[in-house]
Amino acid sequence: MQKLLLGVDRLSTWLGQLFAWAIVLLTLSISWEVFSRYVLGKPHAWMLDVQIMLYGVLFMMAGAYTLSKNGHVRGDVLYGFFRPRTQASLDLALYLLFFLPGVIAMTWAGWSFFTESLAIREQTFNADPIPVYPFKFFIPLAGAILLLQGLVEIARCVICIRQGEWPSRGQDVEEVDVDKLKAMVNVKDEDIQALDKFVTREGAAR
């Protein structure tokens, strides 16, 4: 079971990292459009639509990745004090009551939006129209991947309720652990305090 859960984590991580490159394309497109508009005097009517679609794809495809890293914002003022079983029970109830209905509805409706858009070959409304249906395809795709990752999180809740502790999950980018960083470079708190005093003394002397 743990291998299956971590396998889905790896899939969500891979997709998140893949579509993170959309931010590079978005940056390049914005930079080029600014140069083309203000230096060459040749603006493109379709460029804003492309930028909006790229940002939408980036945002949607990051959902499963963020969930796999337990990175979504939560009101954890009290949550962090609960025992793992209590946390898992609360999470499980919220997944069943709110997450599953919402994501299933998004995926179902997103597929309808995509098929209808594809059927009429929907385009944007500007001087230089571009297709919309490729972008709308990412709505059900993101919903399906998010739903798969959500099922993994539900399984983790059940495992935690049974075993009393959270199962491990895949790691990717972590926040800086100051204590771990100090241990790696062999810096002690006394050294930092001495440096602070030295800087303060030098600043006062100037």
> Which amino acid, 154?
I
Those residues whose C-beta lies under 8 Å from the C-beta of residue 154, and which sit 6 or more positions away, are: 92, 95, 96, 100
* pTM, rounded to two decimals: 0.77
Q: Is 113 exposed, middle or buried (0-12, 13-18, 19+ CB in 10 A)?
A: middle
* Distance (Å, whole) CA 96 – CA 118: 32
* Per-chain mean pLDDT for the chain: 86
**Cβ–Cβ under 8 Å, residues 43 and 30:** no
Identify the CA nearest to 159 among candidates 96, 97, 88: 88
- Give residue for tokens 């944007």: 124
* Distance (Å, whole) CA 132 – CA 157: 38
Q: Measuring CA to CA, how many Å separate 154 from each of 36, 51, 99, 104?
A: 49, 35, 10, 15
Model pLDDT for residues 33-89, shown as the tens digit of each residue: 999 999 998 888 888 899 999 999 999 999 999 999 888 777 777 777 889 999 999
Model pLDDT for residues 166-176, shown as the tens digit of each residue: 887 766 555 55
Domain spans of the chain? 2-174, 176-206
- Please tell me the predicted confidence (pLDDT) of residue 195: 66
Q: Is 120 exposed, middle or buried (0-12, 13-18, 19+ CB in 10 A)?
A: exposed
Partners of 131 in the beta sheet? 123
- Distance, CA of 122 to chain centre: 28
